[in-house]
Structure 1
């Protein structure tokens, strides 16, 4: 390989380079001979280590060539003006008006000239290329990232919500991102597991390689009890949170808690910090670190006084620099860490401001490494978008082990803690809390809470029915209200609060088709008492009965509950855990329950002789048994 490199004059590799004062014409490589490189305009000749460029009858000096291990020869051509060159495919063209590069490669035994595409600033030195950037388009509503702009986000369907975001391509480096580099200096004094760094993978992975290689499942499981492995939480509120998490707090887990502003995320996690700091059972008091990027330590202390938290081992820290937070974790060796919130902390080496896509990703990666290497559980508070999704990139939800979401109306006192993702337990669990003066208190019987204001007057109980639903492993009874109002010849509106609008349209179509109800000119309004969301199909019968009660203006027996899913043909379909649902209804004083006919045989004697089950095959039979129709 023969390589030509231009230089402006000076000393290169200890050899003096003279100035080349000549106008060179277009040269095209045709073949390589024993004398040199044959070109259209002349021959590059090699003789005793000296090279000359033969252009017609003129011979111009070249720098001495040196061979390398790759059997290549490098030549340095001197000329006075770097801006007088242009390199095109197959040609080395000198042009004083345009310049791209002066370096090209001539391969031995070939006639191809390959452009190297490099820039040079001086004597044999290469210009430092500007760092390349990658452009992403990130949705402001849901945080979804795209490689090009779209008018509508394909994830959340928001219009004109994509904003341009530029990220340096070379910012990761051989040791991974900023989050990986920030954890490298952490002293792993809390764990006995040796950390072995892979020179190949390095910081590119989410986690460092830990442990002693592959191990048998039976060997890992020896001596590990689920009851002793998880960290318990004391008190009724702690037990409710532990039940949602799957039985307790798993060491080394990364937990993301999201919810609307003001729903009680910070209050709940401050209570959790106090419970962990006080200890429970065999565990005594232990240090817990509460980090806030939104409040000062004085503000957190005032809130702790209101919540009557007096834990001596609870450490408060107001900081936004994540490297300082990691240093505090290494210094305190806490039992657990709470970061409020992930959108307010930042890493100095990462691109963007706090809360940007790159900062959230790198900070979450750094905290994940800290949690896994130190076996310290870390809670993260996550902001939500106007669409209700957790703000930031989707990788945030993939990185964490558990995703919790708090729900609740501001005008209501109760809050629901739902599990969206859980690597260590069920995703069907839900915790029910009530906001009181001392913070969030667990509700022992949610059904009694939601039915406490139910109208007990049978004459005024029209347009209401009670559905027996399941939230995880817990049965909950909810009251569904309906209102039908005639609008004459105009088409009616459908409004749902707490019920999916498409589900409501489906049930109305079934009632019109299968039960012959004339609802086309009726405004239909559905409301779930308490502001909760009915996501389970088992509430279909209760919704249909409430609509019929309002349309026919006939009251529903207040001692009757309803269980069942309605199909498109009007048939009643069975749902799971029927026995537990009936036991909960009987516990709250209900005497009757409408159930699908397919499940009636298996429920005989399951509740008691004084509890009556009313089996029905379809929605038409339900209406005939409950209402009088002309």
Structure 2
């Protein structure tokens, strides 16, 4: 404090000596010397023995963080805000008034109006200081918003504030990646609402509760779904639950090159041709991965020439919805969701926030305009659709297009469907003209059996269900007396195979413990249900006894630990499928013969057995 007092005292003496010579330096020095205790700055500047010129100082207030201006007399407040003469009213005088510095002026020439004006300006400066205009605002050091770094799981979208080796939501390792989130206003939802509202009439916002019985009044049944006709359309409509629902959002996922774009282009052409209505319907196919010329060349190869099919290459959701509004399409197709973006949403196309907000925007567009939207989605290495897991919760239906690289067959499955069953399955074959419907799906899994050759020993036919469809698959077995490997299975649960082999050894009396057993399901199909137990046992017996199973025989049934045969679900559907494919005999549990006696099976004979010994005596006995 002593040092501070000496500085203020020296400062006052210096101002006293140079006041009459350099009036401008008064304001200059008073800006840089401040006192935290005003009582040491109350000394008058006496030039002729009387206090004629008041002293003005600026002090820093610790509570408010601002600067306050004070003077030795109340009358000098006006002096600190008024000019000495009219010739000095320039920009420098305004700066001096801001800091509250006084100049030489005669107090007697100041009237009441000028005093009131000065008091008003001083009070406004003090109020601004209290409201936070402190030293930080004076020098421009304002606090700005900073970005936040988060660690986001690329598999499920779970976020953490710090890095973890394993995602605590999905328990996957190596999926946490850092994402910088800048604190900006996200207007994606607001903007998508504005775009969707522009399609509706002006009074569309007046929504009121409606009774259930009044919702569908006056609506025909044909308006509930957009039908897809023809063999291809019927196969797709089967998976969708009967057709495309207006206002729905459908996501189609699959591996790269499996045929997602081909499937969507064929659906677009089928709707645009207008076979299901009086006139063709407009369909817009938007691609963010291919140009219009590339899409046109593929359509030409597939012999597609629909006049009402429009192609557009773009990735901006705003631009897409604006451009297609004059067309009023019946269906909108976006290929793919990972390539589009919203300008008002942070992040690049394909990011977590962009994929989520773009899907939400298209969902609101579909619901408010009643236009169905079809989306194509990429999948990750694990086989899941790329992007946050919430993406599959937003859409109405999720379809997967599956297929092996070495095979031309494609399977269209429904894993989520709000308007139909998820048990349906569509089967296609990729050709030069696109995806073609497979009329007999069992041909995919069956080989040609032209004769009862000894080389066909160990082959049995099982009937499995996938959704509501029955398929016939081949199960192969090989029993070798000397091998370095005791057992190997492919396409069958290893525990299930061990149980069946043990039951054959114990209940049927086959000594196969010393043999190596190899089991395989043809075409890479995974057998997960128990309906194939009887076919597995029959193939093992055929290979062990070296007795080929006659062609035209199928097996349906579950095996218990006692060697007994048990019923499985949907026996009628399985047996009817075997009869339609022209098989002569079907080995089933004895209890199924009586329950299925009313079925019209044509020339096929249904043989019932109680246990494995009865099956061996029936199949492997020469007549």
* TM-score when normalising by structure 2: 0.73
State the distance in 2 between where 1:154 and 1:495 align.
34
Higher Cα Rg: structure 1 or 2?
A: 2
Partner SS for 1:268: helix
Matched, 1:405 2:400: yes
Partner SS for 1:186: helix
How far 1:404 sits from its partner (Å)? 0.7
State the distance in 1 between where 2:134 and 2:536 align.
73
Structure 1 spans left out of the alignment, 5+ residues: 1-15, 24-59, 64-73, 81-116, 197-210
Q: Which residues of 2 match residues 496-575 of structure 1 at below 5 A?
A: 496-497=490-491, 499=492, 504=497, 507-508=500-501, 511=504, 518=512, 522-529=516-523, 531-567=524-560, 571-575=564-568
Partner SS for 2:326: helix
1:450·1:479 contact (CA, 8 Å) conserved in 2?
Answer: yes
How far 1:595 sits from its partner (Å)? 1.8
Matched, 1:247 2:235: no
Matched, 1:591 2:584: yes
Identify the match of residue 488 of structure 2 among 479, 494, 519.
Answer: 494
Q: Which residue of 1 aligns with 2:597?
A: 604
Identify the match of residue 295 of structure 2 among 272, 275, 300.
Answer: 300
State the distance in 2 between where 1:122 and 1:569 align.
88
How far 1:471 sits from its partner (Å)? 2.8
Label 1:130 to 1:77 Cα distance change in 2 as closer, same or farther (>3 A). Answer: closer
How far 1:122 sits from its partner (Å)? 1.8
Q: Which residue of 2 aligns with 1:429?
A: 424
Q: Which residue of 2 aligns with 1:270?
A: 265
Q: Which residue of 2 aligns with 1:76?
A: 64
Label 1:608 to 1:380 Cα distance change in 2 as closer, same or farther (>3 A). Answer: closer
Matched, 1:344 2:339: yes
How far 1:622 sits from its partner (Å)? 3.6
Identify the match of residue 161 of structure 1 among 140, 163, 175.
Answer: 175
Identify the match of residue 223 of structure 1 among 208, 218, 226.
Answer: 218
Moved more, 615-624 or 320-329: 615-624
Identify the match of residue 619 of structure 2 among 612, 626, 630.
Answer: 626
1:540-582 C-alpha deviation (Å, 9 max, x unpaired): 3223322333344322222111222345665543223222221
1:145-170 C-alpha deviation (Å, 9 max, x unpaired): 243644445777654333233434x5
Identify the match of residue 455 of structure 2 among 460, 474, 489.
Answer: 460
1:453-476 C-alpha deviation (Å, 9 max, x unpaired): 345444332222222222333222
Identify the match of residue 136 of structure 2 among 117, 121, 139.
Answer: 121
Matched, 1:184 2:193: yes
Q: Which residue of 2 aligns with 1:109?
A: none
Q: Which residue of 1 aligns with 2:158?
A: 145
Q: Which residue of 2 aligns with 1:613?
A: 606
Label 1:494 to 1:388 Cα distance change in 2 as closer, same or farther (>3 A). Answer: farther
Aligned residues: 511
Query: Larger helix proportion, structure 1 or 2?
Result: 2
Matched, 1:446 2:441: yes
Q: Which residues of 2 match residues 22-421 of structure 1 at below 5 A?
A: 22=36, 76-78=64-66, 121-122=136-137, 127-131=142-146, 133=148, 135-139=150-154, 142-147=155-160, 149-152=163-166, 158-168=172-182, 170-171=183-184, 177-186=186-195, 188=197, 191=200, 195-196=204-205, 212-421=207-416
